[in-house]
Structure 1
Amino acid sequence: MLFHSSYQFQRDQLILSVERQAAFIGSMLPEHESLQLDLATPLFDNIKAMLLLLEHQGLANAYALGVKQGAQLVIPLHAEEELAGLAKMVALSGETDAYGEALRRGVKGESGSLVARDFRDQWVLVAYAPLGTAGAALIGRVDLLEMAKPFAQTGLLVLILALVLIFVSARFFRRVTQPLLEQHQHSESRYRNLLDNMADCVAVYDCVEGGENFLIVDVNKAAEQFHGVEREQISGQQISEALPRVAKSGLSAALRRVWESGESEFVSLTYSDGSGRARWVENFIYRLGSGEVVVIYSDLTEQRQKEAQLKRSEHLLRSIVDATPDWIFIKDASFKYLFANRSFAEAVGHKPDSVIGKTDEDLGFPPEIVSGDAANGIRGFRKDDVDVLGGKRIHNPYDPATYQDGSFHIFDTHKIPLRDSTGKVYGVLAVARDITALNRAMGDLKVNEARLTLAEAIAHMGHWSWDIKHNKLFWSEEVFRIFGVVPGGFDSTYEAFLNFVHEEDRALVKLKFNAHLEENQPFSVDHRIVWRNGTVRWIHQEAELDRDADGFPDQMLGVVIDITDRKLAEQSLVEERNFLQHVINGISDPLRVIDQEMGVMLMNGAALDQSVERGDCEGKATCYQSCQGMKPLCDEYPDGMPACPLKRVIKTKQPQTETHLITLDDGEQRTYESSFSPLLNEEKIMYGVVETSRDITEHLGLQARLQEQDDHVVQLTYLDQLTGLPNRLLFMDRLRQGLSISRRDNRSLAVLYIDLDRFKQINESFGHEFGDLILQDVARRLQGQLREGDTLARFSGDEFVAVTGNLGQPEHAGILAQKLLQGFDEPFFVKDQKFYVTASIGVSIFPQDGQDPEALMREANTALFQAKDEGRNSFQFYRDEMTVQAFEHVLMENNLRNALMEQQFEIYYQPQVSFDTGEVVGAEALIRWNFPEMGMVSPANFIPLAEDTGLILPIGEWVTRTTCQQIVDWLKRGIPVPRIAINLSPKQFNDKHLLENIIRILDETGCPSEQIEFEVTEGQIMERSERAIGVLEALRKNGITVAIDDFGTGYSSLSQLKQLPLNKLKIDHSFVRDLPDDMDSRAIAEAIIGMGRSLGLSVTAEGIENQAQAEFLQSAGCTQAQGFLYQRPVPAAEFEKFLLDSQADLCLSTPVPGAPD
């Protein structure tokens, strides 16, 4: 029968559980019975010894009993799962595998062992022996690979187990029974064949001298070859004598340890082989039950060398990976890091090893970076990782991440899946390159390209490149303009370019190109081109050639300049020179020959014509100036060098050239260039001076005109045409120069960004001609406050920028800013009109606010916005928090643009009551912004922004339309509605479409015009009084009343007010606030009320908060009241309820519950 762990020993008896009917030692055993056999018999002694030995050694993992019955070998079918297949095969088919063969031999009376593959295709060692003479046998099975697992690192697993088990089986069966001797000898032969066929070295040692030495019992062929000896030579010798270098390597000590402890060991030692070379050897040492010690060893020198090489390669690879600035990392399927290079680890604040096992969240990456943020275009790490784990290769060119210091960076990331040997994806390999600086550089490049395009357009100069190998031409925008062609209409080849070249110049251009390509001659050429409409233009081209690594032409880079105007001027000059040349050839240049005594020896007619009086100089010793008609006569220079060029030639014997003016008889002055050369005889002795002169007046004039043209080009390129100040291009160049000097001298530098306050209103009211004259005066005033080395530029419109360097203290920039503001204290006078203009200034300081021009300009502009927000007519230094405020300003503007579409505005109404009757006689419509993210926003926070951005026009139209619609709704429902006042902003009031918009809204809504009142400020009317009168007259003609809001805060006079078609004055709340105690406020309020009474206007006081204020105003003759004392501004529904509740019983003296006193 089969059993593995179902046997047990009790009181010297072996109990075998038997299942299924089976023959055992000639007897039949019924199913599920047990047979108790006396263990004292020799037969079962063998069984007990076999089982105990196998169990003790841990070598057998299955046992089997077989019984011969008739012609068959019977084994129970119900057995251990591991041997179920064996039982079935042997019993039913009679096939002979390893187990069947072992049982057959055992039943025949044989004993021994064999190594073969079993029915599972696994290598096994099977030991077998007969049980008595009844035709029964016992076998034991060992899975060699299963037993090899604890020793997998040696590479000798199967061989060790085979060797040990062969020893065990052979020695055990030799002691068990004498009749097995022949079988033992047969096993010994098979053992020797197995041993000698092993690739690893095997040696068997026996202990002598109490463990002090060891005899060599046996070695296999591999050991013989390794040591260069034969078995017969060393068998029986002590290891210290036969293999002394091996013994000294430490093997003897290891043998002694194993022999004494009985515990097997793995030992790595360095042996010397037969040739004396040191070899790295891995040893497995095992003690047999008989006391012998077996050593199985293999030469791992090449393996160790390969491992060392592999480690060096791994170290080199790791060094390369760690040296790259790119991020390289690997994640597993649960998004944990398996590997990270140094660049990645340091960026997230870790060492490479400490990253292992962590997730993106553990490393501190924000949730929007890990999981993505679709609103901001961020895909997220996790989505890419999931796609890669699904088998995709991912390229994310915009992959944001944050460093450990919180800085935001952009990466270009590639991710690929990692697969195991079966092709299953088990991880993600990523390589990410930080392209933050590249993105920034690309942005700067686009800006620079735009600037270059602008500069080229201004200078009429373009640039081009020619890819010679692919014959592709690139032209800048200005080149296309110069050639009179649009980009899509050009073939972008060298041949297409030649088609534009004038046919008479084409050969020259080809020659220049070829000489540059083949002989490296400089490429510079003037030639004509012909536009497709036949227009001929002149251009100048210069280029440089780049060659590839092999020295072949690769590409040319060049510039082209439109020189048509210059060529026309030169052509005119040539024609003029040709004309003059003909004249000169006819009359020749003036010529004189003068001797060394300054006497005139000879002169031609032209020279005679130049003399003061013909013949006066000839034959007389007279000076050069007198002959040329110049006064006074020249004297010698203080250093002794004569001033007269004739005398200088006589003294130095060197040629001289002089340019001088000659006044003709008619008073005209001409410029002559005279040359003076020594007159030598054949012996080289000087005996006179030859003087020639020519009139260069026209030539100098032409040069002056050309210089003026060049100066004009420079002015167009670098100067503002209106003010003559440097423009943005020149200013930025000056700023860069100033920064270089400041860095060198370790000094501060300041940028002052200047913007005129509300200058747009001047342009809109009086026209750009007035505005330009004021800008010119502003430029003069600002320039007058700056030092000689400072630079002032006009950037655009009403924006100026100044840079001042060499500051001792940054605070000195504040002193300069204050001086600049003081320059606006005096009014500006333009065409008999007086204007007051103020400015706001933002200041940034190098180096604390920025290191480059762009940063300083940006921060100064941010400070300028702060100065604007704090009331204008002031300056502000840049502070870091301003960047946040500027962002909030932009955010507020963006949200304001969406507020109308998203219906976030609401109209509140505040009643106006009669002092006399207490009735509600009017109301003011006030806009409120219910911003979802910030709650209710005060008009003071968004109306100025709406005014600046122009959004006030659509917002104002919405207020008017919504108010009219509400009035119509109340009227239809029978609710008594008083006149509703609507505020008009300055931009609305100045809008030329104001009146038609109001009439259109009244018509579309059906609102009666007498229900509407418009409030305008005193300042709005006074700024453009003539236009204001026209607008107010038109409103009144259409039945609309008009009130002056915030009256008393402007500069209007009684005479001006008389001319205005008004209905009401409103006393500003600033004059009501301190009533009745403040005497100044009392006087102002009484004056306004008196002025309104004299003009026949009703007067409304706004901002009334207590009874004392109301009583004073009523006693002073004020007609209407508005303020918290009566009602706060409320939504339409609450105001409707207020109207109904207070229709007949509202009393002036009865405050609203909850109102402040």
Structure 2
Amino acid sequence: MKSTNKHNGQIVIVDDQAINLRLLSEILSEEGYKVRSTIDGEQALVSIGLCRPDLILLDIKMPGIDGYEVCRRLKATPEVRDIPVIFISALNTSEDRLKGFELGGVDFISKPFQRQEVVSRIHTHITLYQTQRELTVQKADLEDRVRERTAELLDANQALKGAQRIASLGNWEWNFATDQVSWSDEMYRILNQDPQRTVPGNNAYIDSTHPEDQNRLRQTIVESRDNLQPFSIEHRILQIDGSIRYLHTLGEIVVDKSHQATHMCGTIQDITEQRQTQEKLEQANTVFESTAEGIIITDAKQHIISVNPAFSEITGFKRHEAIGQNLDFRHSIQHKPSFYQTINQALLKEGLWRGEMWNTCKDKTVNPELVAITAIRNPQGELTNYIMVLSDISSLKKSEEQLEYLAHHDPLTDLANRLLLNDRLEHGIATAARQNNSLALLFIDLDRFKDINDSFGHTFGDSILKLVASRLKNELRTTDTVARLGGDEFIILAENIQDQSEIITLSQKILSIFIEPFAPNNNEIFVGASIGISVYPDDGDCAATLIRNADTAMYQAKNAGRNTFRFYTSELTAAATDRLQMETALRRAITNNELSLHFQPIVDPSSGKTEHLEALLRWHNKELGNVTPDRFIPLAEATSLIIPIGEWVLRNACQEMQKLLQLGYPLNKVSVNISSLQIQRCDLPKLVAEILQETGLNPHHLDLEITESVLMDEPEKVLLALNQIRSLGVTLTIDDFGTGYSSLSYLKRFPINTVKIDQSFVRDIPHDPNDEAIARAIIALAQSLQLGIVAEGVETDAQRSFLIKENCERAQGFYYSRPLPPERLIDYLDAKQKTENEIQPCTQQ
């Protein structure tokens, strides 16, 4: 029958017979014991050392070491020798039992096992062992407590004295029956009395009190005794050296069983430091609450624990909104993270940082503040707090900015004055020298402005000057500076000048603002201007020289008839005059019918067939003669004349292509070059669609050529325009590929059909292996991307052979034909039809 009582404890069974192990384990487990078992004595020693059981059942006869040896080793080990060992054995002789008891065993259980015997014996020995172990622990604990209490009692008096000394606290007792008063040692020190000379008593105590407090102290003690009530009083003592200290005295009545007062006892404590600290705290709190500067107190982790009213007034954050926030909750994007890192490093190293900081207020504004942050450490050197003091300096900043602005700007026109101009000019010269660039200085003087002042008065003249300043600012780049030197003299500083054409264009823009009349107070008047130009570094390397030379050039412009410009250097002036003449002629080129188109065949190098043409613009002026494209195309770009000229080219190219197709010539496409300005400043897709409809040309016969630089400028806008053009059926070619900002991403992103190899990579084939490698790579790239490929600048048969070998689709160049006017193009096409399969070099010019 199984027992219903469950026992606690852990038992290790050691027996080399598995059946015995299983039987004992089942019996003991059913009784609630935790059981571990092993068949080997060595393993048993390891297991017992690890689990420290409450009892061990040990078989005597086992292979290896027997049960006696296991028991002997256990009893030799201090950690486990107290664990009871019960031997289990079929042997039952008195010799065996005696040996087991001598080795430390506590009992024997005979085999075969009787369940009740096993359970009873084991329960008895485990209970005895657990009780003994608990008594041992209690005894050791009691001994420890006795030792501790003894030590406490021995040290109590010394500890009390030490505690009183630390707390500046003394105790006293007044026996009413004997009228004797006793003091603790600390009382003598507090009252500054000599224990060898002073007899404790009320008189000695009261006599040491400040004269102004003696009556109050004496009355308090008397009332306490009469009313049997405790008392508490603060008073002063006057020491021999005349110094004053503050004491806090407590007293209490002691009564006997009959409720008669027998004693009065109490304490006195020197509270001078606390009183002084309290006064300082009250003063600091008054300052904290009433100061105009904002104050923030944080803990060691910079979490805000207190702010004063001024902080809320300055920032808009109320006290409860700031407390708990980290000190960085007002940081602004005005400062980089490195700025705040520098502050923290200074606080860690020096404990203090002062400076200006832009912080965010509750209304999201960012205000400048003068800030001082101090790190607070305790006597042990541990960081405990941070204190930030801040002042709103936004008004001061505005005043400084206004003063700074007034110091550097002309009050009439709001332009830069001479001081600011000199500063920017010197900075511009330094930058230009470092970057190997140029800058230009344009000295502007109004023509006959004195007559305006004399005729209409200075107020009217001032109105003219302000209008001139406004128009000048509207015409300048954001990087340019316009300044008024005084009177009717203005100077423009133009930095990062790449070539002379930019200066000429800027000068023409400035002169153009004087074309329209000025109308202050509804009085229209025409004003002209003369401009003198000096250029760094050619005309000077310092501000004073450049201004002086620009002034000299301005007088040259005056002498040339006014309302014009002149360079300080005569050669530049001549070049500017030539460019101005060319621009004037170019503006009339379309209306004077001076423009024409030539067409250069684009050929299949393998078959010699001409199926493609490129339209090229030509200009002939009766005064200038034939002007090459490399001269007038950049001028057209700089003056935006390329927009109407480009439209003329596109329209005429489509008309000529339509005529050729109607005449039956087997041509596929005509290529027309497009400027970036045509994409940026006009609706090119709309223009292309209108011209195709107007001329009747099928969109599939039109190809537009763009350079890589076009793709760089406003790529999103360019991508939209090119996609719209492609949707019309028009194809697109990248011209001069490899000479600009070549990028495979352009070929992938933009809707390009064909790549044209620039002639600079074809010209030296086959003599330059590098050019061969580049041309070969571009051809392979186009083929891999399934793009068309055209090589331009082909002039020799060796170049043609190379292109055939590399499977280049099309080629163009003087080897096949120079650009031809329409009438000679027809002759060329007729001749090609007769010799369709022959490819002969072109010898005609």
| Alignment TM-score, normalising by the size of structure 2 | 0.39
Q: TM-score, normalised by structure 1?
A: 0.29
Higher relative contact order (CA 8 A, sep 6+): 2
